[in-house]
Amino acid sequence: MSARKRLNPLDWTFLAGETREAMMHVGALMPFAPPPDATPGLLRQLMDEVRQQAVAYEPWNLKLRTPNFLANPLQAWVEDRDFDVDYHIRRSALPSPGDERELGILVSRLHSHNLDFHRPPWEVHFIEGLEGGRFAIYFKVHHALVDGYTGIRLLASSMSKRADELDTPMFFTRKPSERADKTGAVVAKAPTLEALLALAREQLGTSRNIGKALLNTFRSAGAHKSLVAPMQAPKSVINQKISRNRRFATQQFPVDRLKAVAKAQGGTLNDAVLALCGAALRRLLSEQGALPTAPLTAMLPVNIRPKDDPGGGNAVGAILASLATDEADPVERLRRIIASTSEAKAQLQGMTKAGIMQYSALLMAPMLLSQIPGAVGRLRPAFNLVISNVPGPTQAIYFRGFRMEAYYPLSIPMPGYGLNITVVSYLDTLNFGFIGCRDNLPHLQRLAVYSREALEELEAA
């Protein structure tokens, strides 16, 4: 057996948090459109090529030393000497011609299963049968191996900016020294839920004075109705125990349309994103008779790294914002969201970067407490859900001549936080990934439909 590679404390906590219901893997769904001269046998040829690859390089060839004891304090990665490429790279098909709903159902099922920790914890599924000769790639990886966006960036090394480049090696066959991010893919240190969980575990309890900032938030929330304080979120069906069953839905919008409705009210692109999510949630929960009288609140990861910062290390903060789900008028809802995010951002003004990170860790603390067995339902949620907006590829990406149409992320529903919405930009579009507990939020796919109709309402207003 090869030399052991010890897990760092953060990676270990993602393993320790793994249960049948709380699965700590992340992923992405990427549909591709065929070139004019596409051959129908591409995926069969691709699988034949994959089977000829007998070697995988780190991190894709690493498995756990003690897979039956995930929370082993001495847990380590070791090389899988019996790496089976057929297990990790799979081919699936929808009843042709498959539509977006059927694709979402298949990905929901694939994402509802724990990874096999007796093997390197990742899978790639090539899904054929989509309308118009299209296919999709669904990728999932455990957060203890790599974070989701680093994994996707490494996966993107198998892709190209050129439609005529047809022989790029598969991602797992590339040595670490050969990997170059030629795709403009998402940076590793993106402002996401996972980055904030890392921050909270690293920063919580390290400052004696940052609690004053948290106390100021509670005090300010009383004086400014637009400012959301921790633990102000209402109890809802979102904030219950979760099952292992997942439901995934997607939606894509042109960036210009969202910018236009936000600009009309003096808001930002992210304010428009929150308005669409708030409208969709209000409608779905109303249909289920489960809409709280108080507005739902969202936690928003924010990047606090300056524009000229070269990167490296965590530089992520968090703010809380109202989704104004108690407001029926779409324009007034957007205005209230803008007021809420403006007040929240003002709270961070004047803090140092370290102060913002520690303050954000305290905001996240109740979410960490919800991972304690028996805590869900007894504690008031710190917020109702997480909504992340992550910058993605700015140039078109191709895979064996097929053009990537969209980039839909799948994050992690947590105990007590059964819905996560992540938005990734790609070219001139915003790609929404809605992932949640199917049992707590039946008909979750309606969120995607209602978000589109919410944008139409705002444009009409």
Longest dimension (CA), the chain: 66
Amino acid 311 reads G
Residues in the chain: 461
Catalytic residue among 25, 142, 143, 224: 143
Q: Which two tokens stand for residue 149?
A: 């966006």
Closest CA to 149 of 389, 359, 403: 389
Residue 115 backbone dihedrals phi, psi, to 5 degrees:
-70, 155
Q: Produce one character per residue of 352-372: b if its CB has 16 or more CB atoms within 10 Å, e if not.
A: eeebbbbbbbbbbebbbebbe
DSSP 376: T
Amino acid 45 reads Q
Residue 97 backbone dihedrals phi, psi, to 5 degrees:
-85, 125
Q: Where are the alpha helices (DSSP H) in 4-129?
A: 9-16, 42-51, 85-88, 100-111
Say whether 143 is catalytic: yes
DSSP code per residue over 261-327: HHHHTT--HHHHHHHHHHHHHHHHHHHTT---SSPPEEEEEEE-S-TT----S--EEEEEEE--TT-
Q: Confirm if 431 and 406 have CB atoms less than 8 A apart.
A: yes
Q: Is 135 helix (H, G, I), strand (E, B) or coil?
A: strand
DSSP 417: B
Q: Confirm if 120 and 61 have CB atoms less than 8 A apart.
A: yes
Q: Which two tokens stand for residue 415?
A: 């105990």
Helices 255-264/446-460 angle, 10° precision? 50
Closest CA to 46 of 85, 80, 100: 85
Q: Which two tokens stand for residue 259?
A: 């910018």
Closest CA to 244 of 103, 18, 437, 27: 437
Dist CA 410 CA 106 (whole Å): 14
- Catalytic residue numbers, as ranges: 143
